[in-house]
Amino acid sequence: MPAVWDHMVWAALLEIVFLLAVLGGRGSKVMADRFLKAARVLLIILYFSAAFWKLTTSWYDTYTSCAPVLLSELLSGLAPASVLPAGSMPANFLLKISPIFVAALEFAVPWALIANPPAGVLLAMVFHQTINLMPMTYAGGFSLAVITRLVMYVPGTLAAAFKLSAPFTAPLLLLQALWWQCMAVWTQRPARSWRSPSCTCVG
C-alpha cells in the first residue's frame, strides 16, 4: 500500500462529504448548504483528532517528543542568534514547554472555529504558516490541504475582498509573492544547533 499522509485522508474525507451532498440533489443552494454544514463539522473533528493523538506520555517527554525539534527549527528560522542564543535559558525554557504549547495550539484551533469562526480561521492560518516555515521537517502539504478549505468557515469573504480591492489586487499579490520568497530564502540559510537539557536539535 502506498504511503498516505494524514492530510490526504482529510482531503479525501471532505471530498466524500462533497459527493454525498451533491448526490442528495434538490438544487445547488441546498447542496451547498448541506455540504458546508457537514464539512465544517468534519474539519473540526479532524483538528480535534490531530490534537487528541498528542495526549500520550511520549509526546510530553522532551526526550521522545518531536515538539522540541519542530520549535527549535522554527525559532532558528525566525529569531536571530543575537536575540535568542542557542542554549540560553529562554531558548531551553521554550524547548521544555514546547510539547504543551504545540498541543494547546492544536486544541485551540478547533475550539476557536466553533466559538468564533473568523478568529478560528486566523489562528489556523498562523498555525499552518509556522509549519510552512520549517524547511527541514517540511510538512507544507498538510498546511496547503487544510488552509485552502478554511474558506468554508467564512463563505463569501474572499469574493467580497477581491471585489472591494480590485484595483489593488495585482500589486498586493505581487508584494505577497515577494514576501514569501524572502521568507523562503531566510529559512533556507545555514542552520544552527539548539540544545536543551534533554535533547539536541538542529533547526
In a domain, 168, yes or no: yes
Measured CA to CA, the distance from residue 19 to residue 13 in angstroms comes to: 10
What average pLDDT does this structure show over 174-182?
A: 60
- How many domains does the chain divide into? 1
Reported as a single tens digit per residue, the pLDDT across 114-155 is 999 989 998 998 888 888 777 666 677 888 888 888 888 887
Task: Tell which wins on pLDDT, 203 or 33.
Answer: 33
**Whole-structure pTM value:** 0.72
Cell of 69: 525539534
| Residue 202, beta-bridge partner list | 193
Percentage, residues of the chain above pLDDT 90: 19
Using 50, 70 and 90 to split pLDDT, how confident is the model at 45?
very high
What's the mean pLDDT when you consider all of the chain?
Answer: 78
Cell of 108: 485551540
* R_g of the chain, CA atoms, integer Å: 20
**Measured between alpha carbons, how far is residue 203 from residues 59, 104, 108, 130 in Å?**
19, 22, 25, 13
**Dihedral angle, C-alpha 195, 125, 20, 156, nearest 10 °:** 180
Using 50, 70 and 90 to split pLDDT, how confident is the model at 198?
very low
In a domain, 84, yes or no: yes
Residue 102 has pLDDT above 80, yes or no: yes
What average pLDDT does this structure show over 46-69?
A: 89
Measured CA to CA, the distance from residue 70 to residue 102 in angstroms comes to: 9
In a domain, 98, yes or no: yes
Smallest Cα–Cα separation from 41: which of 93, 92, 117?
117
Domain with 106, as residue range(s), is: 6-202
Say what the pLDDT of residue 52 is. 92
CB 114 within 8 A of CB 167: no
